[in-house]
Amino acid sequence: MTALLYTAVDLLIANALSKVAESREAQVSSSFTSSRQNDRLDGAIVSAAYLFSPFTLAACLGRSTSTFTNLAVIQAVASAIEGEAFQTTLALAFASYLAMYPALLLPPIALLCMDRMVVKQSAKGSELVFILNMGTGIIGGMAVLLCLSYLITGSWDFLSATYGVQLMMPDLTPNIGLWWYFFIEIFDSFREFFLGVFWLHLVGYVGGLTIRLRKQPLFVITSLLGLLAIFKPYPSISDVSLYLAFLPLYKHIFPRKSQHSICQVNC
């Protein structure tokens, strides 16, 4: 039953990825159109690339709970592309409840949802107000889920055992991330200072990328997923699989990257 559960979750993720690919949001958004808009992969190919990725297979075989977080994140993106604000808020609240980090995706996902709602309803409001409203909904959803966790466990100890571990990083066991190596090298008296610096470094990408690439919120989401897979305290191969799942959506920019690399070599 466990194997069937994880297989079903991966199939749901693949289905949501197919919807995102078929929406063509990566090539054509409400305020941006790529010059290579016709150079794209079919939704079935994007889904297959995720399902047969070695990282996806390893996460499924290892029964990683991050798979459920990935499902919630991709469902939030798929719902945003459909312009469904309530479903987007609910999915992002569940993802943030499971792993905390998806909350950083709020600004670009909110802007993506708002752009789609403008296209459907032909009415535009304040972007900041929309983000704040969605943020309030996410906080409310997380509060309900945390209260349910309290009723199940009978105490609030799970907060320090889950979110507290992520924030304070007490375990320095080697992993695929970068934090553990840095923190085993520094003196304990500087630990709190550099914890703050590292978290500010991670959070700092959100505002900069969202403002600079306002016309392409899906690309901001993809970039942030890659940054989270590198710079979060305890990354896993499941985080890498989520980032790689979005990369095939941008097949149209791969030739430009190749041309840029060739130009650099010739220069």
Going by pLDDT thresholds of 50, 70 and 90, the confidence category of residue 173 is confident
Cβ contact 42:21 at 8 Å: yes
Q: Work out the mean pLDDT of the chain and round it to a whole number.
A: 86
pLDDT digits 0-9 by tens, 57-92: 998 888 888 899 999 999 999 999 988 889 999 999
Structure tokens at 10: 């991966």
> Exposed, middle or buried by CB within 10 Å (0-12, 13-18, 19+), for 30?
middle
pTM of the model: 0.88
Query: What are the tens digits of pLDDT across the range 201-214?
Result: 889 999 999 999 88
Asked if 75 and 91 touch (Cβ cutoff 8 Å), the reply is yes
Residue 28 has pLDDT above 80, yes or no: no
What pLDDT was estimated at residue 261?
A: 47
- Sequence spans of domains, the chain: 2-266
User: Which range has highest mean pLDDT (11-15, 35-39, 190-194)?
Assistant: 11-15
